Structure 1
Amino acid sequence: MNILLTSSARRIDFVGFFQEALKRMGVGGNVITADPDYNAPSLQQGDISYVIPHQADSDYIEAIKKICQKHEVDCIIPLNDWEVPKLADNKKEFKDLGVSMFVPDPEVVDKVRDKGKYRELLGAFEVKAPRSYIDYEDAEKALESGEVNFPLIIKPRNGSASIGVDIAEDHEEMKLAYNNAVKQIKGTPLNDVTYKNPEDNVIIQEVVEGDKFSLDLFNDLDGRFMASFVRKQLEMRAGDVDRCITVHDQELNDIARKMGENLGHAGYINTDVYFDGKDYYVIDINPRFGGGYAFSHQAGADIPAAIIALIAGREVKGDWLEEKPDCELARHDVVVHIDEEKKRHDYSDI
């Protein structure tokens, strides 16, 4: 079985998770890594590694297809927000090549990447989201009427990696943050993964104060809910969770099940949920593996093994879909030598 991890970047741990699962399950094959940067650390870990065009490049999909055809890839697992829309749009073509893709269908991707419509989307199945305003003037009117109050958070509707995110404490800061978000969108790949104008791709949202949780949910390829993982965020660094503790919270697990069953997506979704002392609010939804899964894996979960079993037609073991509660976990950095002797293929050579 050959598994392709796209935009693998720094995710050396994820590559190892899949390599270990293949070995432990006695399934032959390779974990193939692909990234636009020749010096991405994960390319040193992959069994086969490729340097590919950036997700915004017109040759991106063709490069992925070539890799799949050359190595008879069985499944693709994306690790970056920006590539998901393109992969989703081409799911049928990859299916025709015999490649299973753990990516939601395009209509689901469009829904979950639009933070401005979370209240409408999630409210349909009784999951809460903060008040959000797509139009700047609507936010001003809401402040005047007392519907919302400062502080407010300003961010892209389909954002990634905390690009263009800012907090405003007053009207002047809100205007500055809004203009900065538009500028940030214009200068990043966010401008290439949406049909919206930059000025239409910003939301102004009420801030939910309280405990922060990472809530992950996993569906099989047919969109059937299989698992959820909850981690309370204890410390952040550069936009990523740096320290957390796994928790068992029935209400959060119920939220994950509602989302999984109603979205009916294929694959892994990572969300951020805030608790204000009374209610849980879904703040962000990312239709791919989040880096925080590594914490749940360390706490006993094994979604890579579940994915391999699903592709191979084997039984998915229940303990792969569970994490031990009350595990406090923290990240650490690993230094990798970029070995020029390690062969990294260029897709154009295929």
Structure 2
Amino acid sequence: PEIYRLSDGREHFKGDFSKIILNNKALIDISRDKWRLYEYLRQHSVRSIRTFVTGEYDLIARELNLPFLLKPRRSSASKGIVTVECREDFDYWKKKLGDNFMVQEIIGDDEHEYTVGVFGLGDGTFSQSIAFSRKLSREGSTVKARTVDIAALDEEVRRLTALFKPVGPTNFQFRRHQEDYLLLEVNPRFSSSLSLRTAFGFNEPEMCIEYFGEKRMPRPASITEGTAVRYIEDVVNRA
């Protein structure tokens, strides 16, 4: 994604380009590699999904149980995720992906997946947040969403925000496993569910104008409750 190129070259931006809004560089660097994110979480004693980037099939199948997920270390929007069910799948993808190879335990289920948006203040806190339970399309973006208010999920978001210290729009994605909410990935940018959050009152572009442009705390958003569905519509105008 463009955010990585912009972040890598941020010290070269001059004039109007110096006003480009970018998140915490350390967080952007961690987010670009799922294995690096996993290691960072473990180093800070955050419970995480069991993950491997090396090892033979028999060992990994024993540790993770079949089936398990193959996730390219460097990808976005759930691209490239494959369910591994046998040795042939494992050997094929391990050879194909090379150093981008990563496998992960399957946890929870599709009914308990969540996306949370926060506006980080850079000091380990955030001005406000909004959480959805969600269903994904085949392309990996949110296709159905419902606002939720879950105390344990909110607590995990506060913990991760204190750890990562995001600045501006940041998106956390979770799955519930038993009683825990485990992080799938973090997106230190506007995520694809931006329009859904805005529709429920959590307007991140407006918050950016207030915080980065006007140098003041974003006004508290009046967040409504409800559900949302995305779909493709054909609009045909015949002559």
TM-score (norm 1): 0.60
User: Which one of the candidate residues 154, 160, 164 is aligned to 1:253?
Assistant: 154
What corresponds to 2:77 in structure 1?
Answer: 161
- Per-residue deviation, 1:126: 4.6
2:123–2:162 CA contact under 8 A, matched in 1: no
- Per-residue deviation, 1:102: 2.8
The whole-number CA distance in structure 1 between the counterparts of 2:6 and 2:71 is 24
Change (3 A) 1:134 1:147: same
- Per-residue deviation, 1:201: 1.6
1:119–1:128 CA contact under 8 A, matched in 2: no
1:127–1:282 CA contact under 8 A, matched in 2: no
1:152-191 pair list within 5 angstroms: 152-180=68-96, 182=97
SS at match of 1:104: coil
What corresponds to 1:318 in structure 2?
Answer: 220
* Larger Rg computed on CA atoms: 1
The answer on 1:104 being equivalent to 2:23 is yes
The answer on 1:117 being equivalent to 2:36 is yes
The answer on 1:284 being equivalent to 2:203 is no
1:327-342 pair list within 5 angstroms: 327-333=226-232
- Per-residue deviation, 1:222: 6.6
Structure 2 stretches lacking a partner, 5+ long: none
Letter in 2 for 1:308: I
Letter in 1 for 2:32: R
Structure 1 stretches lacking a partner, 5+ long: 1-81, 183-198, 338-350
- Per-residue deviation, 1:253: 1.7
Letter in 1 for 2:189: R
**Superimposed CA distance per residue, residues 284-332 of structure 1 (whole angstroms, 9 cap, x where no aligned partner):** 222221111222211121222111111112442112xx6334x111113
User: Which one of the candidate residues 189, 198, 204 is aligned to 1:297?
Assistant: 198
What corresponds to 1:141 in structure 2?
Answer: 59
The whole-number CA distance in structure 1 between the counterparts of 2:120 and 2:85 is 39
User: Which one of the candidate residues 173, 176, 183 is aligned to 1:275?
Assistant: 176
The whole-number CA distance in structure 1 between the counterparts of 2:203 and 2:197 is 8
Q: What is the total number of aligned residue pairs between the two structures?
A: 233
1:297–1:323 CA contact under 8 A, matched in 2: no
Letter in 1 for 2:215: G
The whole-number CA distance in structure 1 between the counterparts of 2:59 and 2:152 is 34
SS at match of 1:103: coil
TM-score (norm 2): 0.84
Change (3 A) 1:168 1:237: closer
User: Which one of the candidate residues 22, 45, 51 is aligned to 1:132?
Assistant: 51
1:309–1:316 CA contact under 8 A, matched in 2: yes
